[in-house]
Amino acid sequence: MANHPFTPLRHRDVRLLWSAAVISDIGTWVQLIVVGSLVAGTTGSAVQTGLVALATFMPQGIASPIGGLLADRFDRRKVFAAALLVQALVTTGLAVVLAFGVESAGVLTAFILLASAAGATGAPSYSAMQPDLVPPHELMAMISLGVYSWNGGRIVGPLLGAALALAVGPAWTVAFNALTFVVMAGAVTLLRRPFVPKGDGGGTVRERMLGGLRTMRTTPAIANGVLLVVLLNLVAIPFMGLMPIYAKALFDGGTGLAGSLATAQGIGAIVGGIAATMLGPRLSRSSLVVVIMCGVAMSLTGFALAPTVPLAIVAVMPLGASVAASFVVIPAVIQRDAPPESRGRVMSIMQASMGLSYGVGLLFIGSIGDAQNLRVAYSMGAILLLAGFAVIARVLPGWRAALDGEPAPVATDGDVSLAAGQ
């Protein structure tokens, strides 16, 4: 069944990649929770803590477009594997720095920034590979697998990170994450076929980038989808990067509580990913987006106002579910309408937009949290999300048809090149 959440695992290459991704995502969350809690404990600042998460995701805004160009020019499998090995190397450097007792937020953030830039360079290649791994009717389920691995890592990683930090210290904990990148790179190299993009990938860098931008601008579903993910990342999703300071500032908790909250969010996210996949054939994409936006706003408000730790843990589950559903539904629409020859650039634009807006959102929500408190910051984010969505629905009356429709004709890269030369 196309809407069965694990249908893509019947393919050997998908099983290979996904099992390695689970290990890699666990390692990423081990590092996020340990380093984030270390910075939160030494600075006590929402903005400083947010900078750690910012360094993890912000490079998407700069490195993803470069990765998109590479993904549409070279074998996507090789580009992705090379990026993973660079991540492993830089993360090893971070582990060495921690072993020497360096705990400066600036130094730690710099290493994370470099590693994340490498990851963002490889991400468009992996995204562009996904539609080639499964039949079209399994694409949403394929994207959902990423939600399961990422949030499975969110469940296991924080708990494992807290245990490793106590047992062997932060340095060896981060070294574990470096090893997981090597595992993922090995899985990629074991794929039995190349993933060479269609077309010759010719033209100057400027012409090729304009080709990707024109595809986004002239394809309504892609343009509307990118706009929606930007809105979510600006005002709602920053709660994830601020989890350690939320635990400390509101409940005087440390790594253990931050890990428990992240675990609860991960459980909710897996449920949300499964629900989105199974509802996909039954509801229109636009109806799913309406449910998602309302769900994020309501659950973010509940999380903001939770008066006790148990209620905060309960409240973060539906929040994780609704956010995860957005990560399944909206990218599936964008990938559905992205032409194969420019898919890497289209996905890099989406990822760059997410990274930039998430970085701005972290600073925005974190600043409100420092000036007032995180309850006010999250509540304001929920209000702005609904207001922003209402504006989009008002200004772009065709957004429903765009999300629900068939792929629209787009300009070819050749047209773009001619236009750029005029």
Q: Answer yes or no: is 2 within a domain.
A: no
Contacts of 394 (CB under 8 A, 6+ apart): none
Residue 413 above 50 pLDDT? no
Q: Answer yes or no: is 413 within a domain.
A: no
Q: Which domain holds residue 87?
A: 7-407
pLDDT at 323: 93
Which of the given ranges, 3-17, 209-223, 306-320, has the highest pLDDT on average? 306-320
Q: Answer yes or no: is 286 within a domain.
A: yes
Residue pair 266/28 in contact by the 8 Å Cβ criterion? no
Give the whole-angstrom CA distance, residue 197 versus residue 72. Answer: 5
Number of domains into which the chain is organized: 1
Residue 33 above 90 pLDDT? no
Residue pair 120/63 in contact by the 8 Å Cβ criterion? yes
The tens digit of pLDDT for each residue in 350-370 reads: 888 888 888 789 889 888 988
Residue 166 above 90 pLDDT? no
Query: Mean per-residue pLDDT for 5-30?
Result: 88
Give the whole-angstrom CA distance, residue 241 versus residue 378. Answer: 12
CATH of the domain at 246: 1.20.1250.20
What are the CA-CA distances from residue 117 to residues 81, 87, 171 (Å)?
Answer: 14, 8, 21
Residue 415 above 50 pLDDT? no
Q: Answer yes or no: is 418 within a domain.
A: no
The tens digit of pLDDT for each residue in 94-110 reads: 999 888 887 777 788 78
pLDDT at 109: 79
E strand map for 161-245: none
Q: Answer yes or no: is 422 within a domain.
A: no
Which of the given ranges, 32-46, 135-149, 294-308, 347-361, has the highest pLDDT on average? 294-308
Residue 150 above 90 pLDDT? no
Query: Mean per-residue pLDDT for 193-212?
Result: 73
The tens digit of pLDDT for each residue in 110-131 reads: 888 888 889 889 988 998 888 8
Q: Answer yes or no: is 212 within a domain.
A: yes
Residue 391 above 70 pLDDT? yes
Q: Answer yes or no: is 416 within a domain.
A: no
**Verdict on whether the full-model pTM lies above 0.95:** no
Cβ burial, residue 344 (10 Å; 0-12/13-18/19+): buried
pLDDT at 107: 82
Give the whole-angstrom CA distance, residue 115 versus residue 88. Answer: 8
Residue 299 above 80 pLDDT? yes
Give the whole-angstrom CA distance, residue 56 versus residue 129. Answer: 23
Query: Mean per-residue pLDDT for 140-163?
Result: 83
Q: Answer yes or no: is 421 within a domain.
A: no
Residue 282 above 60 pLDDT? yes
Q: What is the mean pLDDT of the chain?
A: 83
